[in-house]
Structure 1
Amino acid sequence: MRPFPVFFLVATVLLLMLIVPFVSAQEYIVQSGYDSPVTPDAESRVPVPVPFYALPLWVILAQLVLVPYELLLTIKFWAYLGIRRISSANVLDQEVRAQIYDHIKKNPGIHLRGLAGEMEMKMGTLRYHLNILRITHKIAVSEDVASVRFYENSGTYSLEEQHILKYLRNETTRKILSVLIDRPMVTRQEIADAVGVSGPSVSWHMKRLEDDNIITTRREGRVTAYEIPVPVARYISRQIQTPVRANG
């Protein structure tokens, strides 16, 4: 004979621990089964409340058995109305949510306002679906001082790759990175001339790129030159060959 599994024993005890307080917290009224006194001279009995544990044993057992069944019926009722728990398995069954996920998948690093504009969706609706996608681990969210950006969350992008994709979505930064790919060890003025922006603007972009380890700097006298580490340069080259739509 197989021993009774410990798991079922523990589960039964836990279930009773949950049910008994729930049932015993209720107040029960006990009264006579007759509408009038048994004999003309007998006094009517006034119904009085009694604690759960003072009830007959068969009543206690009946309550303990019926409560799980009642809970099950409640769950089935809500399921019948179409209300169900959202999980990673069914989160994309909702059409609008699936469209948002697909757009993020095709546009990694897109920011909130860009996503709202491209999908022509109200911000409140978009935030609601994005939050569900994040909770169910369908998307990854990258936040900085300037913006919140979204990526497919299936191990597709490392943190470094997320940073790179974020910068490639900005037109000016993308041009700067393209210059650095073609001409390593270029100076600030050379970048400004090639991209068509001011020197201070180049410095602002380069500071952000350096903080995220996308570029390195080398000082030669009074001149600072910039370059991209080889592994990063290879990844950027692949992304530039497969254009990423720029939206800031």
Structure 2
Amino acid sequence: MTVERASADDWWRYLGSLFRYSRFDDSDPLAHESRAEIYRAVGDDPGISLSELAAATDVSLSTVRHHLRILEEETLVHSEKIQGKRCYYRADATDEVDIALRTALEKPATRRILEVLAERGPAQTTTLADELDRDPSTITHHLTTLADAGLVVREREGPAVISRLASDVELPTE
């Protein structure tokens, strides 16, 4: 009796799989309503995080994580860890400087540093710290992160380190 039950369960699992997405057939990964909604949300807000996606789509974190894994396997979405945060982008959003810039502009501290560098031009860390009323070590931390992302160039001039916006970085005008 248990053998028949196991085979019946297997049969229902097989039938259920016929009506779901599978990476092994030609089914459309965006045919699933929640997955399509997550894909749209990523397109509407490039650089969105997992928790922001869950809030925007009203889908649980574990479900969002599952659908993102499928979207990444299908190369419809890719993710990058930027400034300690995993950010999701549609596959057609591949400009790394643009992605890093959007992420930096979302954070008030790095946004303000970029704005001051755009307004004033190249500056020493202490000058930026005075201008922003922050500790120089905090400014150094943010400048290092921005330099790693390719948004800021830091050059030593004698004892001072001068920071400036990278030549391909343009802040959006609002």
> TM-score if structure 1 supplies the norm length?
0.56
Q: Distance in 2 between matches of 1:200 and 1:193?
A: 12
The answer to whether the aligner puts 1:229 opposite 2:166 as a matched pair is yes
- The residue that corresponds to 1:197 in the other structure is 134
Change (3 A) 1:222 1:123: same
User: 1:100 Cα deviation (Å)?
Assistant: 1.1
Q: Distance in 2 between matches of 1:168 and 1:205?
A: 12
The answer to whether the aligner puts 1:218 opposite 2:159 as a matched pair is no
- The residue that corresponds to 1:188 in the other structure is 125
Q: Distance in 2 between matches of 1:173 and 1:88?
A: 44
Query: What are the Cα deviations for residues 100-125 of structure 1, in whole angstroms up to 9, with x where unaligned?
Result: 11111121112223333443432111
Aligned-partner SS, 2:163: strand
- The residue that corresponds to 1:66 in the other structure is none
Change (3 A) 1:144 1:177: closer
What is the total number of aligned residue pairs between the two structures? 161
Q: Is the 8 A contact 1:218 1:225 kept in 2?
A: yes
User: 1:96 Cα deviation (Å)?
Assistant: 1.4
Letter in 2 for 1:204: H
The answer to whether the aligner puts 1:171 opposite 2:108 as a matched pair is yes
Change (3 A) 1:145 1:184: closer
Rg larger in structure: 1
The answer to whether the aligner puts 1:93 opposite 2:25 as a matched pair is no
Say which structure, 1 or 2, has more relative contact order (CA 8 Å, 6+ apart): 2
Change (3 A) 1:185 1:144: closer
- The residue that corresponds to 1:241 in the other structure is 173
RMSD: 2.8
- The residue that corresponds to 1:157 in the other structure is 94
The answer to whether the aligner puts 1:116 opposite 2:54 as a matched pair is yes
Q: Is the 8 A contact 1:110 1:169 kept in 2?
A: no
User: 1:132 Cα deviation (Å)?
Assistant: 0.9
Letter in 2 for 1:191: L
- The residue that corresponds to 1:127 in the other structure is 65
Query: What are the Cα deviations for residues 30-81 of structure 1, in whole angstroms up to 9, with x where unaligned?
Result: xxxxxxxxxxxxxxxxxxxxxxxxxxxxxxxxxxxxxxxxxxxx9xx83896
- The residue that corresponds to 2:8 in the other structure is none
Query: How do residues 34-53 of structure 1 correspond to structure 2 at under 5 angstroms?
Result: none
Aligned-partner SS, 2:121: coil
User: 1:162 Cα deviation (Å)?
Assistant: 2.5
Q: Percent identity?
A: 22
Change (3 A) 1:89 1:119: same
Q: Distance in 2 between matches of 1:126 and 1:179?
A: 37
Change (3 A) 1:83 1:126: closer
Q: Distance in 2 between matches of 1:111 and 1:78?
A: 35
Change (3 A) 1:197 1:105: farther
Gaps (5+ residues) in structure 2? 1-10
